[in-house]
Structure 1
Amino acid sequence: MPVDEGGAVVAAPVTGYRLILPEDWAHVPLREGTEDAVRGILDEAFGRIPADSPPDSVGPFKRELERRLRGVVEQVRESGALDLYLPVRSVGDVNIGASVVVSETLLPRRDEQAPPVEPTDVAVQLLSRDRATDTGTGTGTDTAAEVDLSSGELDGALAVRREHVAAADPGRGAELASRRVEYVVAVPGDPGRWFTAAFSTVGGGDPRDELADALVEWFDAVMATLRWRRA
C-alpha cells in the first residue's frame, strides 16, 4: 500500500463503487456500454413473450416497451448521471415505476488557493438548505409537509440521507407523485467529490403506501452494501 513522507500507510484513491442489488435489477452504464445494456434488457423482455401471442399485439407492445425504456435512459443520461438501475423481471415487464440513479458531484472551489471545504461543512450546508425547504422558506416541489433528513457513515465515509415525496410532473413524464430517497456520500480522500445514489418509486400508485414503505427499507439495505473500489 502507498505511504506518505512520514511512512504512514495512505489509502489508495477511490476509483469506483460497488452496490449489491438483486439479480432482477438491471444495470445500465451511462458513460459507455449503454446501448448494449439497453439491447440486453429488451432482448430478455421480448424473450419472455409467449410464443402463441397474437402478432398484431406483439409488435405494438415491443415498440412501446422500447420507447419507454429508451426515454427513461435518455432522460437520466442527459442529467450527467453515471449509472441507472431498473427492476426488469418483477412483473414480466420493464417496470420503470422504480429506479436507482447514481451520479457524482464535484464541488468547485471559489478560490484555488483556499483549502477544500470539509465534508462535514458540506453536510451542514445540505441539512440547512433542506430544512429551509422543509419549513416553507425554500422553493422545493415536495408535496410532503416534512423532509426526512439524517446523517451517518457508509463504508467509513460521511453520508447524508434525504427522503421526501415529489409531486407529479406530467410535463416531464412523471404522471404520479413519487417517494424519493437520496444518499449523498463524501468520497474518501477526495474533498469536494461526492457520490449520490437516488432512489425513486411510485409504490402501488401512492408514494406513501405499504409497497413504497417496503421499497424504501429495501433501498436503505442496498445502500448499507456500498463499498469503495480503489486503485
Structure 2
Amino acid sequence: MSAETEFVNPAVTGYRIILPDDWAQIPLRSNTEEAIRRILDEAFSQIPAGAPADSVGPFKRELERRFRATVTQAQESNALDLYLPVKSTAGVNLGASIVVSESLLPNRGSQGDAHGAPTDIAVQLLSEDGVEDADLSSGELDGALAVRREHIVSADAAKGAELASRRVEYIVSVPDDPHRWFVAAFSTVGGGDPRDELAEALVEWFDAVMATLRWSHE
C-alpha cells in the first residue's frame, strides 16, 4: 500500500510512504469518519456468521470504542495521519501504530540559520518532552536531513498504556522550508515486552518503511 498525504508548502506538497496492505491509513484532518467506518465494516465482516449475537454485540462495541479512542488521541496531538495494522499477522496482534505529524518553528527572521544548525534543531525538537537515555542518530531521507530517536516508554495505566512500549521517531526537515519538520512516530508493545524479538523485528520493519519516504512536489 502506498500511502500519501498532502500538506501546504511552497515546494513540497506532501509525502508518500509504502506500507503493507494490512496497514490502514486514517487521515486526521479530513475524511476521518469515512476511513473509520470503512475499517470497522471490514473488521466486522470477518466475524463468523454463526457467532452468538450476545457475544458479537459487546465485541463490536468494544472494538469500535478502542479504535475511536486511538484515533481521538492522535487527533488531540494535532497529527496528520494515523496508520494501524487492521489485520493480524499469523494470528499475532502486532500492537503497533504510526503517527505522522508536522512540527513548525516560529518565524524569527529571514536568516535560514536563525535557530541554529538543522541537526541541532531536530534534536531540540525531539528533546522537548524530556526523554532521557534515548538512542539518537542522523542521516538523510529523500535528500532531507533526518534525525532518528529510539527509546522505551514506561507503562502508564492513567493514560491508557497498560504495557511499556518501544518508540521510534523520525524528524525530517521538509525541503526548502527551514521552519517545517515532518515527524513520524512508531510505537509497539512487541509481544508484551518492548525489548523482545517481535519488537526488534517491527523496529527494523519501520526503519525499512521510512526508507521509502518520498516528497510530493507540485
Taking structure 2 as the reference length, what is the TM-score of the superposition?
0.88
Distance in 1 between residues matched to 2:217 and 2:26, nearest whole Å:
22
Tell me the alpha carbon deviations over residues 17-53 of structure 1, each in whole angstroms, 9 at most, x when there is no partner: 0000000000000000100000011000000000111
1:214 matched to 2:201: yes
The alpha-carbon deviation at position 119 of structure 1 amounts to 8.6
On the 8 A contact 1:119/1:158 being kept in 2, the answer is no
| Residue aligning to 2:130 | 140
On the 8 A contact 2:94/2:190 being kept in 1, the answer is no
The structure with the largest alpha-carbon Rg is 1
Tell me the alpha carbon deviations over residues 73-97 of structure 1, each in whole angstroms, 9 at most, x when there is no partner: 001001100000000111599x572
Residues 83, 119 of structure 1: alpha-carbon distance in 2 compared, 3 angstrom cutoff: farther
| Residue aligning to 1:185 | 172
Q: Secondary structure at the match of 2:140?
A: strand
On the 8 A contact 1:185/1:194 being kept in 2, the answer is yes
Runs of 4+ in 1 over 4 A off after TM superposition: none
Q: Secondary structure at the match of 2:18?
A: coil
Distance in 1 between residues matched to 2:114 and 2:216, nearest whole Å:
22
The alpha-carbon deviation at position 191 of structure 1 amounts to 1.1
| Residue aligning to 1:115 | 111
On the 8 A contact 1:104/1:194 being kept in 2, the answer is yes
Tell me the alpha carbon deviations over residues 92-140 of structure 1, each in whole angstroms, 9 at most, x when there is no partner: 99x572100000111002x33x41337971322443687xx7xxxx973
Distance in 2 between residues matched to 1:223 and 1:207, nearest whole Å:
20
Residues 87, 168 of structure 1: alpha-carbon distance in 2 compared, 3 angstrom cutoff: same
| Residue aligning to 1:104 | 102
Residues 35-184 of structure 1 aligned to structure 2 (within 5 Å): 35-90=33-88, 97-109=95-107, 111-112=108-109, 114-117=110-113, 121-127=117-123, 140=130, 146-184=133-171
The alpha-carbon deviation at position 170 of structure 1 amounts to 1.1
1:229 alignment partner AA = S
Which of 211, 214, 217 does residue 224 from structure 1 map onto? 211
Distance in 1 between residues matched to 2:196 and 2:46, nearest whole Å:
30
Distance in 1 between residues matched to 2:22 and 2:125, nearest whole Å:
36
Note the residue ranges of structure 1 that are not aligned, 5 or more in a row: 1-11
CA RMSD after TM alignment = 2.4
Question: Which has a greater percent of strand?
Answer: 2
Percent same amino acid at aligned positions? 65
Note the residue ranges of structure 2 that are not aligned, 5 or more in a row: 1-9
